[in-house]
A and B are shown apart, each in its own frame.
Chain A
């Protein structure tokens, strides 16, 4: 039961449609699903956001704690990202230690946040080599209908964008202050269905896919992280065209955080 199953006949149908530039849910190859961002969903978190991509649902929560800097970065705070693919979100997820799929989501999201310098870690240093803020980004996947990476990063960046540093709770200061955000990376994932490369795959499309490619971009035109996943291959020309499309979708999604965030 743990294997993720999409009926072969459905996979063939998805591929047949893709050859004509069509998709099961009526979208075009470059059409993203309807996205909604609900910031501040969880009051116990220092920042949070619930993101829906169609039926995919990711809830990110930020927690900041006072900790100790790593010895090799005495002037910087610490940031960790963790994604939980809880069994509630899909019939194919099971309780137990994190599966490789969950670890991949966490790591790809973490890489984008880190590489884009989303949070200025030096601003999280309180006393060099002694005291710093540790920023936890925890993502709970509540609904799995494909493209978890995009949903998880979008939720994380939206949550970070509205986060506050709880100075009061930890007795480090009188008043809380907003967490400073430098860049807003957005990940955009594509899958190959035959000769067609479609954006924002659903669960079934991911199972019919012959390769997945994720590109993270930021608002100043940098590509900050990439991940090729699943079995399949992309040519350099495929990759270049996917990157171009990732910038267009990235800019549009980033603007939604701007509107919805603080």
Chain B
């Protein structure tokens, strides 16, 4: 969508239906998730997804700061999504810009939709998401990392929150856009799924899609989320499974 003034539009979809990096339309970029890399945090996760690198940490339930945000009946979920200055091609000025603040808000609301916040009145659960290297889809990578970090922190939740962006490139609906596809594609639709209920708790869209295309995009996204969900569970199992004693010797 950032195609205004762009000089060369790359070929996003070849005759065989292969994308710019050789993927099929319904194929995710390589995704690895590690639960618990940070010792200081109550919960943490590191996600490498295509060329995205995202670290998330969770602190809480703890005292609310600033105090006036405190709620007497439930925990407040606060999220800070931030991009490192060097995470993008043109250096980004450090600190939260309007985009980061909006993303922080919708991610916090997505988490609040699944956390049993009423179990921790007068507290704050803080989710910090740091984008260290960005290549489209960072809010989804942040959601995945933040969700695994929440689970790692032992916060009770309805479910984990897998997330992915679906878009339209070269006229076709495609899963998990990378940077060139995001910049030169026709639409971008990030979403986060509650796998148990099949409902979406984060949804944004920019670009143009017809009604049938949107229906197809939703179906593709939900399918992608289910694949990601399995990887999130596997990451948590890796962290908390107890190795057999014999394996310790090596």
Chain A residues near B (Cβ < 8 Å)? 1-2, 41-46, 48, 55, 57, 59, 61-63, 65, 82, 84, 86-91, 94-95, 136, 138, 140, 142-145, 169
Contacts and interface: CB of A to CB of B under 8 A. Distances in A.
Interface in B115-134: 126, 128-130, 132-134
Nearest to B87: A44
Nearest to B78: A95
Interface in B45-88: 51, 53, 55-57, 59, 62-63, 65, 80, 82, 84-88
A2 B65 contact: yes
| Nearest 4 Cβ contacts at the A-B interface | A61-B86, A88-B128, A45-B86, A63-B91
A89 B86 contact: no
Interface in B25-53: 38-42, 51, 53
Given A61-B86, A88-B55, A1 B128 contact: no
Contacts of B84: 42, 59, 61, 84, 138, 140
Interface in B98-147: 126, 128-130, 132-135
A87 B91 contact: no
Nearest to A45: B86
A138 B126 CA distance: 24
B86 A138 contact: yes
A44 B138 CA distance: 14
Name the prevailing secondary structure of the B interface residues.
loop
5 contacts: A1-B62, A42-B86, A88-B130, A138-B84, A142-B38
Given A82-B94, A88-B57, A138 B85 contact: yes
B55 A142 contact: yes
B126 A87 contact: yes
Nearest to B52: A44
A231 to B, nearest CB: 24
Nearest to B91: A63
B89 interface: yes
Contacts of A145: 39-40
Contacts of B57: 88-89
Given A136-B91, A138-B94, A142-B55, A43 B130 contact: no
A51 B96 CA distance: 25
Given A44-B89, A61-B86, 4 more contacts: A61-B87, A65-B91, A88-B130, A138-B86
